[in-house]
């Protein structure tokens, strides 16, 4: 098999690997900064670290994120148009 044919067959796999890397690092996520802002705001407010975004609860509003704190309640965070956290509400589920 020629080198050029081998390279042509590998290109789609390289493109998929690049896309996978972007999806895990948040490089293509336009709401990435607002998510990080919400996690930082909740951690600062509660004094606990290790906050993560809850992806199991459906979100219907733009700029709204649910942040889970280990060993504590979940928090709903609303961001402004710049992506900065502006309001935190303790979420009581169940």
**42-59 pLDDT tens trace:** 999 999 999 999 999 888
Which residues of the chain fall short of a pLDDT of 50? Answer: 20-26, 94
Q: What is the pTM of this model?
A: 0.66
Q: Alpha helices of the chain — where are they, by DSSP H?
A: 3-25, 32-46
């Amino acid at each position: 098999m020629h080198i050029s044919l081998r390279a042509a067959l590998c290109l789609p796999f390289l493109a998929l690997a690049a896309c996978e890397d972007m999806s895990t690092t948040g490089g293509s996520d336009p709401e990435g900064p607002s998510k990080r802002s919400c996690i930082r705001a909740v951690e600062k407010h509660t004094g606990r670290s290790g906050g993560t975004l809850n992806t199991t609860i459906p979100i219907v509003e733009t700029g709204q994120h649910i942040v889970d704190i280990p060993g504590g309640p979940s928090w709903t965070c609303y961001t402004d148009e710049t992506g900065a956290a502006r309001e935190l509400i303790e979420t009581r589920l169940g």
